[in-house]
Amino acid sequence: MEYNKLKGKNLVSVGRCADMPVLGFGDTITLNRRGKQRKYHEYEFHIQCPFRIVKEKQIILGSYDIYCALGDENDSDWETYGNNRFDKVAEDIIKPMLPVKVLDIFVSEVGDILIKLENETEINIFIHSEGNNDREFWRFIDFKNDIHVVFEERKINQDD
């Protein structure tokens, strides 16, 4: 499948768009989208189900960390960038580790993903429920070739 293109590429960014974790891999490329020049990573995973990053058998970041607001002011203000555990760990712990090379990637029949990285690090993306028939759990985007591989409706679909 398309995500095998990640082997040998580097994980170069860990961020989020609202409450959707986004993982960037490979080089930065510039594409013209809707009449504007915009920078993308060669490949991205957009994750709408649980995920975690594990280093040396310790979970260092997980999708639920987005909802763990920092500070005493407003514990529910996770939407403000920098005001939750996810953003803090991504900036202070993950970013200094990058880039880190992808050694292998495995995708199970139920849509779970294991991405093995250098330095005893791995990314786990896992389907947590049967979900709605039309629910999208994750999307792998190959921006160079405009290909989207999507796990939805309990199966992998590809849009070219």
The domain ranges of the chain are 2-159
Q: How confident is the model at residue 54 (pLDDT cuts 50, 70, 90)?
A: very high
The tokens for 21 are: 């974790």
Calpha distance 145→160 (Å, rounded)? 8
Calpha distance 149→45 (Å, rounded)? 9
- pTM listed for this prediction: 0.89
- With 0-12 CB in 10 A as exposed, 13-18 as middle and 19+ as buried, what is 117? buried
Q: Which long-range contacts (CB under 8 A, 24 or more apart) does 152-159 make?
A: 154/110, 154/111, 154/130, 155/111, 156/1, 156/107, 156/111, 158/1, 158/2
Q: How confident is the model at residue 35 (pLDDT cuts 50, 70, 90)?
A: confident
Residue 118 phi/psi, 5-degree rounding, is -60, 170
- With 0-12 CB in 10 A as exposed, 13-18 as middle and 19+ as buried, what is 69? middle
- Give the end-to-end CA distance of the chain in Å, rounded to a whole number: 13
Convert the pLDDT of each residue in 95-153 to its tens digit.
999 999 999 999 998 899 999 999 999 999 999 877 666 688 999 999 989 899 888 76
